Structure 1
């Protein structure tokens, strides 16, 4: 029995819990935000500047979801103008090693993946 099957049997939810967590972690922006916050606490505008292509709305939504899931903390300071900073929680920091392992795997196997894609595209239909 695989680790996944074992976990699903223990949970008894058919894998819904695992899928929900992976949906959050594997969305388009989460790992970029987590990797950026691994450098330390950042204000919203600094975070937005460091992640090319993300809209303010998508950054806001993703940060809100990460905060809800306990991966990011949000600290608001009562100043004028208001200042808000985001940081990884211990749970968020624990995501860095597996994310780096996955990135390393992708780098190690990209040539094989690209060759396989080309062969698939070029095969007779």
Structure 2
């Protein structure tokens, strides 16, 4: 563990998970969170259809990562046929909103927009 870099006010320091930060910055994480926030509960193929270039494999991996991080919730409807739904959690909404605020701030400071966040 790395020591806090603030000399006299160590209570201002806090630990964070680098794994969660890496997940947030992975391709399609933001897109998945935004889609689930807008449309609510969705099935796997519905999510995939909404995001260009997203493969089944990548979506499967990303959803498992997001579920493990408690940003997305997986629900199984046991009626016949069995259906699986994904939805954004409160924590997932907070992460999505924080990313949008950061992007808005970056856009205010730099008018040279050259990429979309996916």
Settle same-fold status: TM greater than 0.5: yes
CA distance in 1, matches of 2:84, 2:55: 18
**Equivalence map 1:32-111=2 (5 Å):** 32-39=31-38, 40-108=40-108, 109-111=110-112
Aligned to 1:19: 18
- Ranked by relative contact order (alpha carbons within 8 Å, sequence separation 6 or more), the top structure is 2
Aligned to 1:29: 28
What are the ranges of 5 or more consecutive residues in structure 2 without an aligned counterpart? 1-5
TM-score, structure 2 length as denominator?
Answer: 0.76
Aligned CA-pair RMSD = 2.3
Aligned to 2:3: none
TM-score, structure 1 length as denominator?
Answer: 0.72
Q: Which has the higher helix share?
A: 1
Aligned to 1:121: none
* Misfit runs of 4+, over 2 Å: 79-82, 105-108
Q: What per-residue deviation string (whole Å, max 9, x for no partner) do you get for residues 71-107 of structure 1?
A: 1000111234331110011111111221111221343
Give the length in aligned residue pairs.
Answer: 104
CA 1:53–1:82: 2 relative to 1, 3 Å: same
Instruction: Note the C-alpha offset of 1:110.
Output: 4.2
- Give the number of the structure whose alpha-carbon radius of gyration is greater: 1
CA distance in 1, matches of 2:54, 2:94: 24
What are the ranges of 5 or more consecutive residues in structure 1 without an aligned counterpart? 12-16, 115-125
